[in-house]
Structure 1
Amino acid sequence: MQDLVQLEPLAKDVPPTKRGHERCLALLISATELFLERGYDAVSLDDIVNHAGGSKASIYKYFGSKEGLFKAICDYRRTQFFKDICLPFSLDTAQNFRNYLIQTLVNFFQHIKQPQNAAFIRLIVEQSGRNLDIAQHIHEQGPKHIQHSIAEVLSQAHKKGLLNCPNPLFSAQLYFGILRNIEWRILMGLPSDETDQETIEYIQYCVDRFLDGHQKV
């Protein structure tokens, strides 16, 4: 029943049965595969139903529309993407805090370099440029959400005296900027100039400089 609970914010009127859950999840997965293969505009609700089984009535019931289904897919993949990035942490020592900041960026890098994750982000960027409502939804639930999560961590560290961070949201944006060039190279399909180990060393270096910049003077 744990997976069923996870679907509740993504879809409405999901029957409280294993079969209803599986039908809803099948629509999400099938639509994702088709959107990645053909692009959002080239996929119809009939295509999704033919691929997943069921009926268009199920799509309307669970998601309201094709756009609603796409938003649900974005939320579902966001949940899957971020669940292993920001892991539980301990702020007992400065070393634990440093390790947490490094590991969070390493986890993000490991996720973003997976081909399907990168392909889906490209799809999101393409569709966001055509639909302001989708763009706003994705920004609120994706980048803004994760920035606020890290900002809360920085705020707690500030209160414990582990760093000087009077504006944690600004600092969270600066922190994620460490991976911005790497992220864009992956999304544009450019070959990497570094090995994974070199990227990890780069992350460690940048986190140390980030912490240096947040010390009391």
Structure 2
Amino acid sequence: MSADQFPPCPCHLPPQTKRGVERRLAFLESASQLFIEKGYDDVSLDDVVQHAGGSKATIYKYFGSKKGLFKAICDYRRDLFLQDLFQETSQFEYLELRTFLLQTLDNFYQHITQIDNRKFIRLLFEQVKYDPDLSEYIYQACPVKILAHVSQKLRYAHDNGLIFCENPDDAAKIYLGILWHIEWKIFMGVTLTENPSDIQNYILYSVDLFLKSLRNP
């Protein structure tokens, strides 16, 4: 019986001990690095065990299968991404909204241009081509959450008279499209040639232009 044919655990409960949490995290980090370096198909669960320690039985216990492990890695990296992306603020005056929009795009740029993150994004897009369920899951778990978060900020600012934005959902899509050309370069493996200072100036210009369109008439 191959690794992918191993019957999945009927319920993947989170580890109940500190050692279990550490072991699960070791599997996530090791497998993530191996997938990035070698590709999904060229990494076996034996490779993950050899790299991280532990046993395949523990992998099956926590993740059920190689596919379950990859999905858990997507969740883990998504949580790190969202943590990096958003900096919560308690007040939403106009200047603070502008700062939030600037910082969010800068955080987005810094995250997706890191070498390992770029490689994982390309790996992810390669995998979702063959797994529609994973594609839908990733879309709902990451892009939709980011859109909802930005939309919530814009709606708050609108409701408090700081901007005029009757459709914050669509406005959030426009805002997040500011870095579309960088994203596409990463998705397609094109070398990034932009100077970081030019990117910062572009983000500043784009956010100010975006907010100008939302001024209260």
TM-score, normalised relative to structure 2: 0.89
Task: Quote how far apart the aligned CAs of 1:92 are.
Answer: 4.0
Aligned length: 207
Alignment of 1:119-130 (within 5 A): 119-130=119-130
Answering whether residue 199 of structure 2 is matched by residue 178 of structure 1, we say no
Taking a change above 3 Å as real, the CA distance of residues 62 and 199 of structure 1, as seen in their structure-2 partners, is same
Shift of 1:90: 4.5
Identity %: 49
Q: Deviation at 1:189?
A: 3.7
Q: What TM-score results when the alignment is normalised by the length of structure 1?
A: 0.89
Please identify, of 38-47 and 119-128, the stretch whose mean Cα deviation from structure 2 is larger.
38-47
- The residue number in structure 1 matching 2:54 is 54
Deviation at 1:91, TM superposition (A): 4.0
The residue aligned with 1:3 is none
2:50 alignment partner AA:
N
The amino acid of 1:56's aligned partner reads K
- State whether residues 90 and 96 of structure 1, in contact with CA within 8 Å, keep that contact through their aligned partners in structure 2: no
**Does the Cα contact within 8 Å between 2:158 and 2:166 map onto a contact in 1?**
yes
Give the aligned partner of residue 13 of structure 1. Answer: 13
- Are 1:39 and 2:22 counterparts? no
Distance in 2 separating the partners of 1:32 and 1:123: 10
Structure 2 counterpart of 1:152, which letter? Q
> What corresponds to 1:78 in structure 2?
78
Matched to 2:148, the amino acid is H
Which letter does structure 2 place at the counterpart of 1:159?
Answer: D
What letter matches 1:127 in structure 2?
Q
What is the alpha-carbon root mean square deviation over aligned residues? 1.7
Structure 2 counterpart of 1:206, which letter?
S
Letter in 2 for 1:185: K
Query: For residue 8 of structure 2, what is the aligned residue in structure 1?
Result: none
Which blocks of at least 5 consecutive residues in structure 2 are unaligned? Answer: 1-10
Alignment match, 2:101: 101
CA distance in 1 between counterparts of 2:15 and 2:101 reads: 40
Q: Secondary structure of the equivalent of 2:85?
A: coil
* Structure 2 Cα separation of the partners of residues 111 and 135 of structure 1: 21
Q: Tell me the equivalent position of 2:145.
A: 145
Give the counterpart letter for 2:29 in structure 1. Answer: I
Distance 2:67 2:92 in 1: 45
- Separation of aligned partners in 1, 2:116 and 2:34: 12
**In structure 1, distance between residues paired with 2:173 and 2:74:** 22
Question: CA offsets per residue over residues 54-113 of structure 1, 9 Å max, x none?
Answer: 222211111122111111101101111220211012544211211110111011111111
Structure 1 letter corresponding to 2:158: H
Residue equivalent to 1:6: none
> Aligned partners of 2:191, 2:24: CA distance in 1, in Å?
37
Alpha carbons 1:91, 1:157 under 8 Å: kept = no
**1:123 Cα offset (Å):** 0.7
The answer for unaligned runs of 5 or more in structure 1 is 1-10
Whichever residue aligns with residue 28 of structure 1, its letter is L
**SS at the partner of 2:84?**
coil
- 1:190-205 correspondence runs (5 A): 190-205=190-205
Q: CA deviation at 1:192?
A: 3.4
More deviation, 143-152/47-56: 47-56
Question: C-alpha distance in 1, partners of 2:92/2:31?
Answer: 44
The structure 1 segments of at least 4 consecutive aligned residues displaced by more than 6 Å after TM superposition are none
Q: Distance in 1 between matches of 2:36 and 2:132?
A: 20
CA distance in 1, matches of 2:82, 2:147: 12
Cα distance in 2 for partners of 1:93, 1:17 equals 44
